[in-house]
Amino acid sequence: MKITRWIPRIIAIAIVAGGAAFLILTKPWQSGPTPITFTTVTVGKGSIAAQVTANGTLSARGTVQVGAQVSGRVVELNADFNDPVKKGQVIAKLDPDVLKSQIDQAAASA
């Protein structure tokens, strides 16, 4: 036989022997699962900061027109823009002196 016929067989045997030697030396079947790393923390109370960044349009669920039966100067304002209010809550107080003078004028002209 010629040497050129033996060269591919020798290379194949060398590759098989190298692979077997690698498997025997590294022993991949004996390595266990990788250990899981974790950290423990003591439970406690704290604040949560929630922030949302978004683009869009905000609209109110509902709107209410607020008006008065009489006009006058406001001396006390108990609610501000976008404050939640309840039914029957006094929102503003008018100056009673102006209202009293209007009543006196109406009584005098009657």
- Inter-residue contact 91 to 76 (CB < 8 Å): no
Number of domain units in the chain? 2
Is there a domain that residue 64 lies in? no
Q: Count, in order, helices (H) and strands (E) of the chain.
A: 2, 2
What pLDDT tens digit does each residue of the chain (110 aa) get?
A: 577 788 888 999 999 999 999 988 887 767 677 788 999 989 988 888 888 888 999 888 888 787 777 778 889 999 888 888 888 899 888 888 888 888 898 899 87
Q: What is the pTM of this model?
A: 0.36
Domain that holds residue 103: 74-109
Q: Is residue 93 part of a domain?
A: yes
| 58 within domain boundaries | no
Q: Return the HEC string of 19-70.
A: HHHHHHHHCCCCCCCCCCCCCCCCCCCCCCCCCCCCCCCCCCCCCCCCCCCC
